[in-house]
Amino acid sequence: MSHTDGAESRVSRRASQERKKRNLISKIVVIGLGLLVCVAAAMFIPSDSAQFNTQEVQAAVQQLYLNEQQDYLNPDVTREMIEDTVEKVDYLGIKETEAVYQKAQEARQKFLAIEALSNVYATETAVIEGESVQADLKLKEDLTLASIQEISTRHQLTGEDELTTQINRLYTEATQVLEEVATVEELLGTLPNDLSGEVNLTELLPQLIEVETELERLEGQPSIETFQSDFEDKVTEVADVIKEQAETTEFDEALLETMFKCNTLSKNLSGSILDSRKLVSLTFDDGPNPLYTQQVLDILAKYEVKATFFLLGQEVERHPDLAKKIVEEGHMVANHSFGHPNLAEISDEEVLKEINQTQDVIFDATGVTPTMYRMPYGAGGARVVNLFPELESVIWNVDSEDWISDDAYLIYENVAANMLPHTVILMHDKHQSTVDSLELIIPDLLDQGYEFVDPLEVGMEFLYYE
């Protein structure tokens, strides 16, 4: 090999190296450009564009629905699923005339309409889920006629299918309820403000009945609770006027009958001289008693009448199951203090403790918080009554004297000789003679046409004995 050869060969080797370098650079440039194109493409095309076609879009739309007919929505569907599917349909350029496009749009509209129903109805869970629609819904308390009209216009659906009909119905009904609430408010406004002058009862009573019926029908709907208490106040005023008139006027039968057709008024007049019904309340004090209470319950059940049991806290603690049984059999439980002290002889603090502790004990045993109490020996007067503004003090106007006599027939005679048209009878479920006397007393009172009611319905004039 010559020197020149060596030189030539070095030159050619250098040239070949240059070529390789250029090739490499151009390869890198090509790869780089390729990558750039890919990145650019990825930026403009939805990431999964390559993975779906028309069939897959159809499948995605079907997923939004519960059934083949594609009317009810799949309960598991989310807002994201819907938006995603609508986007795919748009991307594929599926036209408005095509069914798959229609169904994706419909799913979206239905979903939004159902979602908005949760701003209309007061409920923790979805108003419509799959095929199930909640019934007996109440409107949200802050809903107004203007806002429901705005929401329902926005979500009005066109279509013949069942779900569309149900959604539209729920919006229509919400609007109707609020219109009815507005009507009740108007009706309330037409009742006379001032009842001090001449009151035309023939005109007023049907008005009261109409308002009452509407209030009962719309119970639980927005503002109704407020209207209800306004109405009750008004009826109490009317009742006072009626009672006053009753002292000088004799009402005709038809008018009297109308008075008692209005439940709120009837409650106010219950037990008054206008109430021609024969009312009796059987009350049993000092229980529950393991020997006698169950026997009393059995006789009450036999004659299908209800009674009220004024329970002692200490006895309820001993026999909670009996207290519970009384409630389970549909009778009233009331408070008769904890340990039966003479409330007139103990301090306010002690009186409060006697009654409040018993409220708790009765609630724990029965799940019921009493609304009535009776002072042991009927003693305590206005001082005790004033301590419990939230509770009703209940006395009696016929004493069976079952605590004196152990002769069932004598107890029956005591009662029979003293019955009034409106009577609260005092008894004690702690004597066998009391139990036995019931077999005489109850059938006799039923024969005479007495209704067995709770003591408040009898409407005693007095809350306590002086």
Candidates 104, 95, 102, 425; CA nearest to 285 is 425
Q: Which is nearer to Zn ion, 61 or 427 (CB)?
A: 427
Candidates 418, 465, 421, 374; CA nearest to 272 is 421
Q: Quick check: 286 binds Zn ion (CB under 5 A)? A: yes
- Binding mask 151-170 vs Zn ion (x if CB under 5 A, - otherwise)? --------------------
For the CB of residue 326, give the shortest distance to Zn ion in the complex, in Å: 16
State the number of binding residues for Zn ion (CB under 5 A): 3
Q: Quick check: 315 binds Zn ion (CB under 5 A)? A: no
Stretch that binds Zn ion, among 112-120, 225-233, 283-291, 448-456 (CB under 5 A): 283-291
Cβ neighbourhood burial of 399 (10 Å; 0-12, 13-18, 19+): middle
- Residues in 339-398 at the binding interface with Zn ion, rule: CB under 5 A: 376
Stretch that binds Zn ion, among 74-82, 237-245, 286-294, 440-448 (CB under 5 A): 286-294
DSSP letter (8 states) at residue 74: P
Three-state SS for 196? coil
User: What are the tokens at 458?
Assistant: 């009898």
Q: Which is nearer to Zn ion, 271 or 370 (CB)?
A: 370
Q: Quick check: 402 binds Zn ion (CB under 5 A)? A: no
DSSP letter (8 states) at residue 262: S
Q: Please, what is the Cα angle at 208 between 202 and 213, to 5 degrees?
A: 130
Produce one character per residue of 81-114: b if its CB has 16 or more CB atoms within 10 Å, e if not: bbeebbebbeebebeeeeebbbbbebbbbbbebb
For the CB of residue 286, give the shortest distance to Zn ion in the complex, in Å: 5
Q: Which is nearer to Zn ion, 222 or 313 (CB)?
A: 313
428 a catalytic residue: yes
66-74 long-range Cβ contacts below 8 angstroms, 24+ apart? 66/130, 66/131, 69/161, 70/103, 70/106, 70/107, 71/161, 71/162, 71/163, 71/164, 72/130, 72/131, 72/162, 72/163, 73/107, 73/110, 73/111, 73/114, 73/130, 73/163, 74/130
Give the integer Cα–Cα distance in Å for 11 and 2. Answer: 14
For the CB of residue 335, give the shortest distance to Zn ion in the complex, in Å: 11
Three-state SS for 372? strand
Q: Which is nearer to Zn ion, 373 or 412 (CB)?
A: 373
285 a catalytic residue: yes
Q: Quick check: 237 binds Zn ion (CB under 5 A)? A: no
For the CB of residue 444, give the shortest distance to Zn ion in the complex, in Å: 25
Q: Crossing angle of helices 162-190/201-217, nearest 10°?
A: 150
Q: Quick check: 285 binds Zn ion (CB under 5 A)? A: yes
CB-nearest residue to Zn ion: 285
Per annotation, catalytic residue among 155, 331, 336, 428: 428
Backbone angles phi, psi at 319, to 5 degrees: -130, 60
For the CB of residue 419, give the shortest distance to Zn ion in the complex, in Å: 22
Give the integer Cα–Cα distance in Å for 466 and 459. Answer: 18
For the CB of residue 372, give the shortest distance to Zn ion in the complex, in Å: 14
- Residues in 6-45 at the binding interface with Zn ion, rule: CB under 5 A: none
Per annotation, catalytic residue among 71, 155, 275, 285: 285
Handedness of CA 326, 327, 330, 332 (dihedral sign): positive
Q: Which is nearer to Zn ion, 12 or 342 (CB)?
A: 342
**C-beta atoms surrounding 122 within 10 Å:** 15
For the CB of residue 364, give the shortest distance to Zn ion in the complex, in Å: 21
Stretch that binds Zn ion, among 48-56, 278-286, 299-307, 457-465 (CB under 5 A): 278-286
Q: Which is nearer to Zn ion, 120 or 426 (CB)?
A: 426
Instruction: Identify whether the C-beta of residue 112 lies closer than 8 Å to the C-beta of residue 155.
Output: yes
Which amino acid does the sequence have at 212? E
For the CB of residue 426, give the shortest distance to Zn ion in the complex, in Å: 9
Q: Crossing angle of helices 224-246/201-217, nearest 10°?
A: 150
Q: Which is nearer to Zn ion, 113 or 343 (CB)?
A: 343
Q: Which is nearer to Zn ion, 370 or 376 (CB)?
A: 376
User: What are the tokens at 377?
Assistant: 């020996």
Instruction: Please report, as ranges, the residues that interact with Zn ion according to CB under 5 A.
Output: 285-286, 376
Which positions are annotated as active-site residues? Answer: 285, 428
